[in-house]
Amino acid sequence: MNEKHILIAEDEQHLRLVMCLLLRQAGYQVTIAEDGVEAFCKIVECSENDNPIHLVITDIFMPKIDGLELIDWLHAEEYDIPVIAISGYGNNRLLADLRCRGCMEYLDKPFVPEEMLDRIGKVLEMQ
């Protein structure tokens, strides 16, 4: 069993559940959130309960706060957690914003499950 804990922040319920199932089948512990505020609260809660998040996978366009704002909150509160961003609306400006914020990887939606698992493995190996 993989001991790594991944948080998925995704507002599309179907995709969130598919990703959760895929990651659990791959042996990861998974926490899910449907927006950036809920994601940040769960990161804090998991940290306080000695079950820290090792990787955040976040959609960019979500209600309440988006993925870019979530990344900013993580930095502001000094959470050093790698981030993989996902979006169906990527462009050069978005990719530049993500790089400036220290985002480790980016995936266009829709993506192939094997590609997501490969990127997750590479990011976690760097930690």
Answer yes or no: pTM beyond 0.85. Answer: yes
Cβ-based burial of 77 (10 A; exposed 0-12, middle 13-18, buried ≥19): exposed
* β-sheet with 29-33: strand ranges across: 29-33, 5-9, 55-59, 83-87, 105-108
Q: Which two tokens stand for residue 76?
A: 């502001």
Domain extent for 53: 5-125
Beta strands in the chain (DSSP E): 5-9, 29-33, 55-59, 83-87, 105-108
pLDDT of residue 127: 82
Q: Which two tokens stand for residue 22?
A: 């895929």
pLDDT tens, per residue, the chain with 127 residues: 468 999 999 999 999 999 999 999 999 999 999 999 999 999 999 999 999 999 999 999 999 999 999 999 999 999 999 999 999 887 788 889 999 999 999 999 999 999 999 999 999 999 8
CATH number at residue 78: 3.40.50.2300
| The total number of structural domains that make up the chain | 1
pLDDT of residue 31: 98
DSSP 36-51: HHHHHHHHHHHHHTT-
**Nearest residue to 8 (alpha-carbon basis) of 25, 64, 104, 29:** 29
